[in-house]
Amino acid sequence: MNKTRLAILFGGKSDEYSVSLHSAAAIIKNVPQDMFDVTLVGITRDGKWLHYEGTADRINDDTWHHEMLSPVILSMDNNFRGLIKLDEKGGTFEKIAIDCIFPVLHGKNGEDGTIQGLCQMTGIPFVGCGMTASAVSMDKEFTHAICERAGIRMAPYVRAARSGNLNVKKLYEESLEKLSLPMFIKPANNGSSLGISKIRNYNEFEKGIMEAFEYDDKVIIEKMIEGFEIGCAVVGNEELLIGEVDEIDTKNDFFDYVEKYSQHNSKIHCPARISDELKAEAKKTAEKTYRALGCKGLSRVDMFLAPDNTIYLNEINTIPGLTDLSRYPSMLKKIGIEYKDLIVKLVDLAMEGN
Ligand SMILES: Nc1ncnc2c1ncn2[C@@H]1O[C@H](COP(=O)(O)OP(=O)(O)O)[C@@H](O)[C@H]1O
Ligand SMILES: [Mg+2]
């Protein structure tokens, strides 16, 4: 059997660059060598694409780019599907044929449809959602619009775009009337809780708006949902496998960036400590969200469970954290999908129909 020539993209011009390094290092260590011929492409924080041939550990500790590496570009010519490695000194190039691309990238330029559009242009199958599903799932306002139309409950919200004459006081009053306190302000497009604040008064609102605008030109303000967060892993194209439901137990104000990656004051319970009925309902919401947004391959659907047992969709992550200890693989492990098998499955799903 011929090995699948797999290009793994890691890093990325994104605030979640380092999250990607950890996800990619774990995938590289676990990808079955007898099935795949792996080419690694590291993308630096400033957007350089480099061919990397070193160890996964040097990706994990972010020293992978401390050596001279050759630039690579993705061929947009569908008659040659692969990468073109440039030897800038010698003025030569080398072609590396690729059967499948695995963009192990998070956040902007990773799961927002940009890289997916590029991959679609190459004609090479790639892991995960397509361009439109990725873009819509990344944008919290568009997620609201599509999912609410599909009958999925979400927190009431207000949106605001950056503009020279934005009246923050008026926006606060409008938000207060529609949402009441506390509220959450979030950049419409970002991840890992960056730029997100919990708002209890006008001063915090003013500061929160400024902070969110540092990450995006559009922000959304949401009513705070009491209760706690649950999540559910989904894998598949048309036929879906739904993972176990997990639960975030945090003592913090909310699941912020530091907590997400340190978990000093938080614990993830998988399975969630909720009734079977609620788990079933959460899985149904996850599946409905996935289908409404036209997802493919994989996604983690994040929800809130309110004290009255109502489930609200929070957001969907089309390339969730993918280390072997991350929430997404852990939820699938509980239904019998081991990490190594998950990697193979994701590539198989990408190549389905090709
Ligand atoms: N409406 C809300 N009610 C309660 N908590 C929220 C709300 N929106 C966000 N949060 C908190 O902020 C965290 C990050 O928000 P989220 O929308 O998931 O953004 P990100 O894409 O950065 O992960 C959530 O995990 C949750 O802890
Ligand atoms: Mg989130």
Ligand 1 contact, 196 CB (< 6 A) = yes
What is the average pLDDT score of the chain? 95
Half-sphere exposure of 100 (CA within 13 A, CB side): 25
State the fold for domain 157-223.
Dna Ligase; domain 1 (3.30.1490)
* Residue 312 alpha carbon, nearest atom of ligand 1: 1
Q: How far is the CA of 222 from the centre of ligand 1 (A)?
A: 9
Residues 126, 103 contacting (CB under 8 angstroms)? yes
Say if residue 346's pLDDT is above 90: yes
From 153, 196, 219, 222, mutation site for ligand 1 pocket: most ligand atoms within 8 A of C-beta: 196
The closest-lying atom of ligand 1 relative to the alpha carbon of residue 193 is 22
Report how far apart, in Å, the C-alpha atoms of 1 and of each of 28, 36, 55, 167 are. 21, 11, 26, 63
Beta bridge partners of 299: 234
The domain limits of the chain are 4-126, 137-153+226-351, 157-223
Q: Is 255 close to ligand 1, i.e. is its CB under 6 Å away?
A: yes
pLDDT, position 157: 98
Q: What would be the CATH architecture of the domain defined by 137-153+226-351? A: 2-Layer Sandwich (3.30)
Give the per-residue pLDDT at 218: 96
Overall average pLDDT of the 84-109 stretch: 94
Is domain 4-126 in CATH 1.10.10.10, yes or no? no
**83 has a pLDDT exceeding 80:** yes
Q: What integer pLDDT is reported at residue 258 of this predicted model?
A: 77
pLDDT for res 22 = 97
According to the model, what pLDDT value does residue 259 have?
75
Q: What is the pLDDT of residue 7?
A: 98
Task: Say what the pLDDT of residue 187 is.
Answer: 96
Q: Which residues contact 15 (CB under 8 A, 6 or more apart)?
A: 107, 108, 190, 191, 192, 194, 215
Which ligand sits closest to the CA of 184? 1
Q: What pLDDT was estimated at residue 188?
A: 95
Please list, in sequence order, all residues whose beta carbon lies within 8 angstroms of the beta carbon of residue 4, skipping any fewer than 6 positions away: 35, 36, 37, 99, 100, 347, 351
pLDDT digits (tens, 9 = 90+) for 283-336: 999 999 999 999 999 999 999 999 999 999 999 999 999 999 999 999 999 999
| pLDDT exceeds 80 at position 1 | no
Beta strands in 162-259 (DSSP E): 183-187, 197-199, 218-223, 228-236, 240-250
d(CA 240, CA 296): 9
Q: What is the pLDDT of residues 129-179, one digit of tens each?
A: 999 999 999 999 999 999 999 999 999 999 999 988 899 999 999 999 999
Taking CA atoms, 257 is separated from 16, 192, 196, in Å, by 10, 6, 9
In this structure, are residues 156 and 178 in contact, taking their beta carbons and an 8 Å threshold? yes
Where does residue 126 fall: left (phi above 0), alpha (psi -120 to 50 degrees), or beta otherwise?
beta
pLDDT tens digits, 238-293? 999 999 999 999 888 878 877 777 778 889 999 999 999 999 999 999 999 999 99
Q: What is the DSSP letter of 54?
A: S
Residues 6+ apart with CB under 8 A from 158: 171, 174, 175, 178, 179, 220, 221
pLDDT in tens, 181-239: 999 999 999 878 889 999 999 999 999 999 999 999 999 999 999 999 999 999 999 99
Spacing, Cα 205 to ligand 2 middle (Å): 20
Atom of ligand 1 nearest to the CA of 302: 18
> Whose CA is closest to atom 3 on ligand 1?
224
Task: Please give the model's pTM, rounded to 2 decimal places.
Answer: 0.96
Measured from the Cα of 222, ligand 1's closest atom is 1
Strand partners, 199: 183
